[in-house]
Amino acid sequence: MSALLTVKDLRISFGSNEVLKSITFDLNADEALGVIGPNGAGKTVLLNILTGILSPGSGTITFEGNDITKMNVNQRCEIGLGRTFQVPRPYEKMTVLENIMVAGVYGDKLNEKKAKARAKEIAEDIGLSDKLGWFGGKLGLLDRKRLEIGRALATNPRILLLDEVGGGLTESEVESIIALVKKIKANGIAIIWIEHIIKTMLEGTDRVLLLAGGVDVICGKPLEVMNSKEVSEVYMGGAEQ
């Protein structure tokens, strides 16, 4: 079976700083891929390229067999690439329901009635059905993270890209995020998940990709990657960062 998403020889530089030198990986339709790496490894830059916020210097991105490398953000959203951001920024003066509805209207071209119905379903799935009338600005961090995921889901993605949705949460809150990501994957949505929390990678992904020095250093089963000499070298200072 061919991969849902294929990234080949992706490169990007900012001036003389070559952040990504050569990144190659694929994502199957039924899996969650974790992405780890030291600060400055280019993890968020990678997500920004995948979603069209940044254009690579070279390399290709193929989705469902079609080259999408030159597609813009809106086009990629329409074909099924959704994402969260590291710092959740809900519309603070809109309710939870309205926040999710906006994503459905503009991200999936739903009319207001259908967007409202989907928003209620999503709120139930992400654990915010009891806070539909809360303003985004009144939510705590965990609920902001849930809402961030909910807004991405409202765009009806085939692939959901998560940027450190576990960051800043307590251990029990991280557990709830892992459970939510597993639920999303079980519903047929593939996942690419950037995270620093080892537990999320071990329990919430099928494979883990290590980025360091601008390249994809190793990719494999989560426990094998975490116990690898490559990870030890990168995080203990034995590899170029």
Q: What is the dihedral of CA 226, 228, 234, 236, to 10 degrees?
A: 90
Residue 200 DSSP code = H
Characterise 232 by phi-psi region: left (phi > 0), alpha (psi -120 to 50), beta (else): alpha
Q: What is the pLDDT of residue 1?
A: 57
Domain end marker among 156, 171, 195: 156
Q: Do residues 143 and 37 both lie within one domain?
A: no
* CATH number assigned to the domain comprising residue 67: 3.40.50.300
> Per-residue pLDDT tens for 22-34?
999 999 999 999 9
> Per-residue pLDDT tens for 119-172?
999 999 999 999 999 999 999 999 999 999 999 999 999 999 999 999 999 999
Give CA–CA dist 82/149, Å, rounded: 9
Question: Angle at CA 80, nearest 5°, toward 74 and 86?
Answer: 75
Q: Do residues 74 and 89 both lie within one domain?
A: no
Average pLDDT, integer, range 207-233: 94
Q: What is the pLDDT of residue 10?
A: 96
Structural domain of 120:
81-156
Q: What is the pLDDT of residue 239?
A: 41
Q: Do residues 164 and 234 both lie within one domain?
A: yes
Q: Do residues 70 and 184 both lie within one domain?
A: yes
Give CA–CA dist 48/53, Å, rounded: 5
pLDDT reading at 241 higher than 90? no
Q: Do residues 47 and 6 both lie within one domain?
A: yes
Number of domains within the chain = 2
Q: Do residues 97 and 174 both lie within one domain?
A: no
pTM of the model: 0.93
